[in-house]
Amino acid sequence: MGSLPNYLTYPFLAKASARLYKRDIATTIHAHIVKSGYESDLFISNSLIHMYGSCREITYARQVFDGMPIRNLVSWNSMLDGHAKCKDMDMAREVFDLMPNNDVVSWSSLIDGYVKSGDYKEALTIFERMRAFGPKANEVTMVSVLCACAHLGTLDNGRMMHQYMIDSGFPLTLVLQTSLVDMYAKCGAIQEASVVFHQVKMSQRDVFIWNAMIGGLAMHGFVNEALELFTEMQTVGITPDDITFLCLLSASAHGGLVKEAWYFFECLIKCSMTPKSEHYACMVDVLQRAGQVEEAYEFVCQMPSGANSFDVGCSAYWVYEPW
DNA sequence: TCTGATGTGC
């Protein structure tokens, strides 16, 4: 009765499966494609490589890639990104060096792979090479580059990248502005982070950029300022998420602010969210640092078993056995 | 009409 899937259907299915991160669904879709005879379609094969790469099934991705009679840049880039997602940067680099040609996506995938693998210096080295010999960077490239600067804490470098973006006439999208706020905050330049944050129109700010700013303030001990922004974001209709509370709880833990921590934990519940193990870990941390060992113990006991994890376990251990 | 890279917490 229903219509059969055609060559336009499968790329969407593969993309959905890639996002779901489910290997069994991925192989099922692949089997359907083989049965329907669409395996030789370039778009469909590319979708399969991407799907397997996203599911971290790089061996299957490679099998599809090797079986293709014709490949294009998307095939190579998907293979490259698959290795990068698996944090196998040696293989990602090999693909990059082997591919017949490359574009901004190839370079961005490589740079982001190094960032996600924690090799921030190499990410910046590749970016310099890209500036010298490669295609023009775009928003996606710069997000990864700013992330590398943030983790290295090299403020001068970060400022240079910001200037480069202005000089190159990059449109400052919300994603880029969030990366800038995060970079300045992590580099300790909370004032510059604040300037970028306030340049974004109130109506355009989403939970990501609010979190970046609140987290930046909290990280540097400006808990009152973080609290003010937390109130403000709710006033303008942005609902805090679990990351927002993690920022605030972590700041309270570092500052030894027990009352504030309880307040944020209660807010979290009031926002009808379920605290995760990380939230519990922050609470245990703040209580035991304040010397409230029994309260911390009680808190751990109340914790639903679903939230139990190594994080909380470690914190709980501190409650019993301070080294 | 279909395919590839990006932002907030540890």
A138: domain range?
103-187
> Distance, angstroms, CA A90 to C1' B4?
19
> Do A76 and A111 have their domain in common?
no
Instruction: Point out the nucleotide closest to A50 (alpha carbon to C1′).
Output: B4
Q: Alpha-carbon distance A33 to A38, whole Å?
A: 6
Residue nearest to nucleotide B3 (CA to C1'): A43
> Do A208 and A322 have their domain in common?
yes
> Distance, angstroms, CA A97 to C1' B9?
35
> Distance, angstroms, CA A180 to C1' B7?
9
Instruction: Point out the nucleotide closest to A105 (alpha carbon to C1′).
Output: B5
Instruction: Point out the nucleotide closest to A251 (alpha carbon to C1′).
Output: B9
> Distance, angstroms, CA A6 to C1' B5?
27
Last residue of a domain, one of A156, A187, A218: A187
Any domain includes A193: no
Which chain B nucleotides are covered by protein, judged by CB under 7 A?
1-10
- Long-range contacts from A258-264, C-beta under 8 angstroms, 24+ separation: A258/A286, A258/A287, A258/A290, A258/A292, A260/A223, A260/A227, A261/A286, A261/A287
Any domain includes A91: no
> Do A72 and A109 have their domain in common?
no
Q: Which string of b and e fits A44-83 if b means at least 16 CB within 10 Å?
A: bbbbbbbbbbbbebbebbbebbeebeebeebbbbbbbbbb
Q: What is the pLDDT of residues A246-261, one digit of tens each?
A: 999 988 888 889 999 9
> Distance, angstroms, CA A254 to C1' B9?
14
> Distance, angstroms, CA A83 to C1' B4?
13
Instruction: Point out the nucleotide closest to A212 (alpha carbon to C1′).
Output: B8
Q: What is the pLDDT of residues A8-52, one digit of tens each?
A: 999 999 999 999 998 999 999 999 999 999 999 999 999 999 999
Nearest Cα neighbor of A51 from A33, A30, A66 is A30
Q: What is the CATH number of the domain that holds A216?
A: 1.25.40.10
Number of structural domains in chain A? 3
- pLDDT of chain A, 323 residues: tens digit per residue: 678 889 999 999 999 999 999 899 999 999 999 999 999 999 999 999 999 999 999 999 999 999 999 999 999 999 999 999 999 999 999 999 999 999 999 999 999 999 999 999 999 999 999 999 999 999 999 999 999 999 999 999 999 999 999 999 999 999 999 999 999 999 999 999 999 999 999 999 999 999 999 999 998 989 889 999 999 999 999 999 999 999 999 888 888 899 999 999 999 999 899 999 999 999 999 998 888 888 888 888 878 765 554 445 444 444 444 33
Nearest Cα neighbor of A207 from A241, A176, A180 is A241
Token pair of A142 as six digits: 């710069």
> Do A323 and A237 have their domain in common?
yes
Token pair of A141 as six digits: 């490239």
